[in-house]
Amino acid sequence: MPLRRRGRTIVALGATLAILGTIGWFWQESLLPDSYSVTEMGYHDYGGGPHHAGTSLDVSVDALAPPADAEAEVEVTLTAEQKTFELASGRSVDGYTLNGSSPGPMIRAEQGQLVEVRLVNASVRDRVTLHWHGVDVPGGMDGVAGVTQDAVAVGEEFVYRFYAHQTGTFWYHSHQVSHVQVAGGLFGALVISPAVEPRPVEVDETALVHLYEGQRSVNGHDGDLTVDAAPGDRVRARVVNTDAGPISVWVDGAPFRLTAIDAVDVNEPEEVEDLAVTVTAGGRADLEFTVPTDGAAVRVELSGSLALVFGDAPSEPRRQPTEELDPLHYGAPAALEFDPDAADREFEFNIGRRLGFLDGRPGRWWTVNGGLFPDVPMFMVAMGDVVVMRLTNDSGEVHPMHLHGHHAVVLSRDDVAATGSPWWIDSLDVGVGEVYEIAFLANNPGIWMDHCHNLPHADEGLNAHVMYEGVTTPFRVGGPPTNDPE
Amino acid sequence: MPMTWEDETVRVAYRVLAYIIAIEVAIQAAVMVFAIAGLGIWVQEGGVFDKAVMESEEPPFPEVVGFMIHGINGMMIIPAIALLLLIASFFAKVRRGIVFALVIAALVVIQIYLGLFGHEAAVFGMLHGINALALFTVALWAGLRAKKPAGEPAVREHAPA
């Protein structure tokens, strides 16, 4: 029956074509152009607000900077290198340094000072930038390759200038191929102190927690780091999580207060004991306590693998407390500078995950509001708007969500309203199935990344932007400067 | 109607693809236990496993490669083979070959989702383990039963009236 045979073959070919054609179409659709502007990516989401709020802003993002003639009060040059280097512990690591070391130098400033950092790329082949994590810098100083500047090539430099308006614990890191460069050590700490310290301490220590080649370290030390502290000393430990997942931090040997989260002071933090503090990826926590007068050391446990030890008495690690400090109900309430109930725009930021192609690569990729990158929202705001954002996570993994250029206040989690101190964040741990409602005031014009600070996730498409009406960018992702912010 | 060499080739391809899926399921089980055993040893030796370590690009212990293989195999390679099997089934003269290939494809999809849901509720991980056995069995069965060509009814049709 040749006819029947031929018919069967045609049906088989048709079915094959239908399957392969569908896959091919999805593959083709996912391919990104060689270069693109993030402002043309995806779709605009106005959050129920006007498409044209009529603000008078009309500015290119690179013009958003302090006046050029203002004199810097803190001047630092950071030279980036790509090389094999030794950590403080002597371990050899293949990665990146700033001024010859990783972590890079600690930058200190006093509130109100103009900080000027000259970034020189000595040998980072994939180019480099610096982002000031948690500092609400002017739009042009945000250090995001392809959005606020071109990545700095070998032999070139870029000057960052910003006023240190805020106080607290910050860090800086590369935002060019960041999922590789940050993991490889291209980061450092920035601490901004108030002119008059409201709670003076005798010991002020910053702990940059980082996994170099999979092994945890604090300030480049592989084991416990002992810090000089005498009995009775007041201590502030500033913990910075530079990794891609949350860590748990707890204090052994003294009651403590969580005095700041993401560089914003907690209002009236009460003394607590036997509670673990979760520090999300990119997030910071300031812990304050007094070294006991009986001479025992205090251990600030960093995820149980190592500790900052205050005092030289011998000490033993203790297991992680079973209970966690919940910032939603910690400290005392205080008035906000804006009214979240009178929001001008309300955005939905749902994180999901599904099978598909990302720039031609098949896989199970993150989605934002159901769409795979670049089919993601551009959250459009206007200067002065009060913005409410609902973050939901149906993706099966935790995501440390980081909004550039702003601090947002947590209004509720899983519809339970915040009752403690205003909980301000720039990096928020959004757990599986959790619903967070946050609010911020759009008071810093620019084009701001709003992404997952598990940096490989950002590279896998979990990033969107908040864009101000009237702000444009001349920079493009990709292209000759090979801008690759994630 | 006698089987041509083309028919024979497609049928063999069908069988081989079905067997490969069964072997792949066995590999999936093996690498998972390999990784978990490595994790256990590492923790015994003082290693601390947390989310940050889990997300680190650098493996804290060598057996972690098992988790990676499991992910790549399960998310990419096995679905691709299941798809090839389905396509082969359209051409292969294997009785109910398409049905078996469709069942295998469906079990693969279910397996992926059970794996994903396991990140939210561990009970799905348990079902993921059971479904793996179902997939292994059906794939093996599909391969075995495709041993002989589905030529019998065709012979009857050709018999003289």
Q: Mean per-residue pLDDT for B109-127?
A: 92
- Per-residue model confidence (pLDDT) at position A22: 93
pLDDT band at A158 (very low <50, low <70, confident <90, very high): very high
Q: Mean per-residue pLDDT for A341-370?
A: 94
Q: Mean per-residue pLDDT for A65-70?
A: 96
Could you tell me how far CA A290 lies from the centroid of its own chain? 30
pLDDT in tens, A92-118: 999 999 999 999 999 999 999 999 999
- Per-residue model confidence (pLDDT) at position B5: 83
- Per-residue model confidence (pLDDT) at position B150: 57
- For residue B11, the chain A residues in CB contact (below 8 A) are none
pLDDT band at B131 (very low <50, low <70, confident <90, very high): very high
Q: Mean per-residue pLDDT for A178-185?
A: 97
Decide if A288 contacts A168 (C-beta within 8 A).
Answer: no
- Per-residue model confidence (pLDDT) at position B1: 55
Q: Mean per-residue pLDDT for B110-130?
A: 93
Decide if A153 contacts A176 (C-beta within 8 A).
Answer: no
Indicate the pTM of the whole model: 0.91
Q: Mean per-residue pLDDT for B130-154?
A: 85
* A102 backbone dihedrals φ, ψ, rounded to 5°: -135, 130
**B59 touching A, CB under 8 A?**
yes
Q: What is the mean pLDDT of chain A?
A: 95
d(CA A245, CA B74): 24
- pLDDT value at A343 more than 80: yes
Please give, rounded to a whole number of angstroms, the shortest distance from the CA of B5 to a CA of chain A: 15
d(CA A101, CA A183): 14
How many A-B residue pairs are in contact by the CB < 8 A criterion? 89
- Per-residue model confidence (pLDDT) at position B52: 87
- pLDDT value at A223 more than 70: yes
What sign has the CA pseudo-torsion A171, A333, A390, A149?
negative
pLDDT band at A262 (very low <50, low <70, confident <90, very high): very high
Q: Mean per-residue pLDDT for A415-425?
A: 98
- pLDDT value at B157 more than 50: no
For residue A183, give the nearest of B48, B57, B116 by CB distance. Answer: B57
Are the Cβ atoms of B116 and A19 closer than 8 angstroms?
Answer: no
Are the Cβ atoms of A214 and B56 closer than 8 angstroms?
Answer: yes
- Per-residue model confidence (pLDDT) at position B154: 43
Q: Mean per-residue pLDDT for B2-12?
A: 85
Q: Mean per-residue pLDDT for B40-65?
A: 87
Give the 3-state secondary structure of B87-140.
Answer: HHHHHCCCCCHHHHHHHHHHHHHHHHHHHHHCCCCHHHHHHHHHHHHHHHHHHH
- For residue A214, the chain B residues in CB contact (below 8 A) are 53, 56-60
Name the residue with higher pLDDT: A53 or B155.
Answer: A53
Report A:258-317 residues touching B (Cβ under 8 A): 281, 303-305
- Per-residue model confidence (pLDDT) at position B2: 65
Q: What is the dihedral of CA A85, A90, A91, A93, to 10 degrees?
A: -10
pLDDT band at B149 (very low <50, low <70, confident <90, very high): low
- Per-residue model confidence (pLDDT) at position A301: 97
- Per-residue model confidence (pLDDT) at position A5: 74
Are the Cβ atoms of B58 and A214 closer than 8 angstroms?
Answer: yes
pLDDT in tens, B55-112: 887 778 999 999 999 999 999 999 999 999 999 999 998 999 999 999 999 999 999 9
Are the Cβ atoms of B57 and A281 closer than 8 angstroms?
Answer: no
Q: Which of A305, A354, A358, A460 to mutate to test the interface with B (most CBs of B within 10 A)?
A: A305
- pLDDT value at B144 more than 50: yes
- Per-residue model confidence (pLDDT) at position B48: 87
Q: Which two tokens stand for residue B99?
A: 């049905």
Q: Mean per-residue pLDDT for A331-344?
A: 97
- Per-residue model confidence (pLDDT) at position B59: 79
- Per-residue model confidence (pLDDT) at position B56: 82
- pLDDT value at A174 more than 70: yes
